[in-house]
Chain A
Amino acid sequence: MKRTLRFQRKYLCIPYVIFLILFILLPILLIIFYAFTDKDGFFSAQALIDFFSTPTKVSILINSVFIALQTTILCLIIAYPLAYFLADKKINRNGVLITLFIMPMWINFVLRTGATRDLLTWLGVNGGRTPYLATLIGMVYNFIPFTILPLYTTMLKLDKSQIEAASDLGATPTQVFIKNIIPQSLPGVASAATMVFMPTMSSYVISDTLSEGKITLFGNSIYISFSNSQWNTGSFLALIMLIIIFLSMLATRRFSREPEVRGGTW
């Protein structure tokens, strides 16, 4: 009897599996391969030894983590109250305001950074003199839409009856905010933090443009390594970056209370 090839629903995921292998799994394997081999393709820990024995490289890493953390915290501090007020239907009647706030996302990234530099220089925050401040401002400006959006959606979903219950039990508006609204919005804070922390770790265009090359971030050094054909060193740095992002995801996952998605691929 001839078996006819019948279309099944699971075939629909074939393109994604191909994509997954070609653009995600394979590159990661390549990175790991290059990180632990030398120029001739033999196993070598040279890149690892090099990295940890060069103080400048380690300090670039620490610096980057530090800037990323600062950016994340600043973004959260600015975006949290903003999202809270934007979620109030009385203030943000038909979502026009939220659109205005995330509008910068629609403008080309490099163009926007260049414009930021000119604006900051005009305002007197000169990248040459205060590279750190300029970088930080640029980072926060660039990533704040990514913080506002997840926070805004969380704020929209706040359980009003819980807020009323807290107030009913004797909590003043401040206490309601601290004891109920903040705990309720933690998942949003976690996803907002991840959305900022990860890209700030790896971005280098902003720091390059705004600090006029005075601040080198981890992303820069990866870029420089590859553009100087030091594939092994570059791959090792990329691997470290991967590990840090993985760790930061683990850290934030604790807070997001999203229901676990069950079920396999097939």
Chain B
Amino acid sequence: MEDNFIITLEHLNKSFGDSLIVDDFNLSIKKGEFVTFLGPSGCGKTTTLRMISGFEIPTKGRVLLNGKDVTNLPPYKRPINTVFQRYALFPHLDVYDNVAFGLKLKKTPIQVKKRISFFDYWRKRNEIKFSDFVKNLFSKQPTLLKEVTKMKHLPPKVIDQKVARALKIVDLEDLEDRSIDTLSGGQQQRVAIARAIVNEPEILLLDEPLGALDLKMRKEMQIELKEMHKKLGITFIYVTHDQEEALTMSDTVIVMKGGVVQQVGTPTQIYNEPKNAFVADFIGESNIYSANMVDKKRVRFLNWTWDCVDDFEINENVDVVVRPEDIILLGPRTTNLIGTIKSKIFKGVHYEYIVVVGKSELQVRDTRDLKVDSHVSIKIDPQNIQIMKKQYNINAFYDAYITKNNKVAMSDDEFDCDLTQLLPGSKIDSDGYLTKNGVRYNLTDAPVAVEIDIKNIELSDDINASEVHGVVINSIWKGDYYQVLVRSASEEDYVLDTQDSWNVNDIVSIIVKKENINLRLKGDISKYEEDA
């Protein structure tokens, strides 16, 4: 079965200095598949791609191409071509020469018939008469021939044909003689694709190829790339941080975070059955809650017990994800959970409602026009409640936002944080705006996902040590440390490891150092650019 896979990555590891970029990456890709590596920036997706193309050598692990180990093979020896993020076209060459670049370098073995030499005669001197050999040597149509394999460049005519075909595939037939800097971004993108596919690679790697295009152009190119993939029938490996792009184009999506594969699956699997809260949050809109399994196939969240289809151990703490379109709003009924509509936004086909239940919020999508402040009861079909194993090494908050004081807030718990991590090379200016290269970003109310390692939360008796206070819910002895669960006044749960022993119902200050709060902006930072 193994020859079915065109490329296999075995235990790939890559670290630069001390930092681990890719951690134990395993993957097999079938011939002709469209595979996408999806993840936020810095998740190691590009590094993995570069190990496939040969620009990076893995620290550990192997890359197998058609079952052969190519881990240490330089890029120019691999039958793999790349479409680069910034196109990387050759400005000193015109469109034709850019596309023909690879073909002109290529040498193919050609069987040539050649007149036999004296040595050949000598070896077979018993079979061939000397006079025949001499005659053969001088005749214009020699009969004594031998086959020789010669490495030859492709004839110009063949190159012409191939370039023309590639340019036709990308819709640039008439631009052969144009110089690169007279082309628009979209056209340059097409040249970059043509330059890669003209070599008929077994695998085409695309490193965020649409990142530099505007939205409309990007949508068009997505469809065209998908068509191209069908037409060419070769394997595409695509890297992007845009979840929508990944879902529309791919056969298989690999979601990555921090160098670790989170989930591998078809777009539908990834969307409908996310394996953990990160995947659920990264792919599409979602409501994520901490929950507890109260009974067999019964889960409790939002202070309500729900039927569900996933079987987890009773009393296990889990994460639950419900998609906004899976929540059904009904008229108030006593048998259901009741919430209040806090706001609504018209989105064309549907309305987007925020429904408040206790101190939690639900994002709901509904086509009906309901009144703000009206009470509704909430129904969720058991199969639409996706239950995921809780990750106990980090505290994750997926509906946090940035306040106008540059703090990060989970519900009403505000912490100091370092906003510059959202944009490498940026800083906070004297007016409190995030700036980079003269561009200002106004991040007030920007939604972010927050992660805090459970080792990085501290508690204190001193009520003035922090503005965030909470109550110790439980404390479990884990052998050499306690794992403590604290619930804050605004009903957010914090899990932490500590050496100290805390009593249940203690009121404590929750302290998190600025540098230990990891932020991830939802959506692109360019949305928050301030107009000068």
Contacts and interface: CB of A to CB of B under 8 A. Distances in A.
Q: State the 8 A-B residue pairs at the shortest beta-carbon distance, nearest first.
A: A169-B102, A161-B88, A165-B88, A183-B92, A170-B105, A167-B75, A168-B82, A170-B76
A166 B82 contact: no
Contacts of A159: 88
Contact of A167 (B74, B106, B195): B74
A169 to B, nearest CB: 4
Nearest to B90: A162
A186 B93 CA distance: 13
Nearest to A160: B88
B163 to A, nearest CB: 13
Interface in A182-204: 183-184, 186
Contacts of A92: none
B235 interface: no
A169 B101 contact: yes
B70 to A, nearest CB: 14
Contacts of B85: 161
A172 B107 CA distance: 12
A168 B76 contact: yes
Interface of A: 159, 161-162, 164-172, 175, 179-180, 183-184, 186, 257
A183 B92 CA distance: 7
A32 B105 CA distance: 54
Interface string B98-118: 000110011000000000000
Contact of B195 (A169, A175, A186, A257): A169
Given A183-B92, A184-B92, A170 B84 contact: no
Given A169-B101, A171-B105, A161 B199 contact: no
A235 B92 CA distance: 42
B86 interface: yes
Contacts of B80: 168
B263 interface: no
Contacts of B25: none
A168 B92 contact: no
Interface of B: 53, 55, 74-76, 80-82, 84-86, 88-92, 101-102, 105-106, 195-196, 199
A139 B214 CA distance: 54
A179 B84 CA distance: 19
24 contacts: A159-B88, A161-B85, A161-B88, A162-B90, A164-B75, A165-B84, A165-B88, A168-B53, A168-B55, A168-B75, A168-B82, A169-B76, A169-B105, A169-B195, A169-B199, A170-B76, A170-B105, A170-B106, A171-B105, A172-B76, A175-B105, A180-B90, A184-B92, A186-B92
B81 A168 contact: yes
A89 B243 CA distance: 37
Contacts of B196: 168-169
Contacts of A167: 55, 74-76
A162 B92 CA distance: 11
Contacts of B55: 164, 167-168
Nearest to B53: A168
A180 B92 CA distance: 9
A10 to B, nearest CB: 26
B166 to A, nearest CB: 13
B105 A161 contact: no
Contacts of B106: 170
Contact of A161 (B74, B81, B86, B195): B86
Contacts of B88: 159, 161-162, 164-165
A238 B334 CA distance: 104
Contacts of A166: 90, 101
Q: Which of B76, B82, B102, B195 has the most CB of A within 10 A?
A: B76
Contacts of B199: 169-170
B84 A169 contact: no
Nearest to B93: A183
A161 B55 CA distance: 11
Point out which of A161, A168, A186 has the most chain B C-beta atoms below 10 A from its C-beta. Answer: A168
A164 B102 contact: no
Contacts of A184: 92
Nearest to B195: A169
Nearest to A165: B88
Contacts of A183: 90, 92
B106 to A, nearest CB: 6
Given A165-B89, A167-B55, A172-B76, 5 more contacts: A164-B75, A164-B84, A165-B82, A184-B92, A257-B91
Most chain A CB atoms below 10 A, which of B74, B82, B85: B82
A255 B102 CA distance: 25
Nearest to A184: B92
A170 B90 contact: no
Contacts of B195: 165, 169
A55 B464 CA distance: 98
Contacts of B84: 161, 164-165
B7 to A, nearest CB: 16
A172 B102 CA distance: 11
Nearest to A164: B55
A179 B196 CA distance: 17
A184 B101 CA distance: 15
B199 to A, nearest CB: 7
Contacts of B75: 164, 167-168
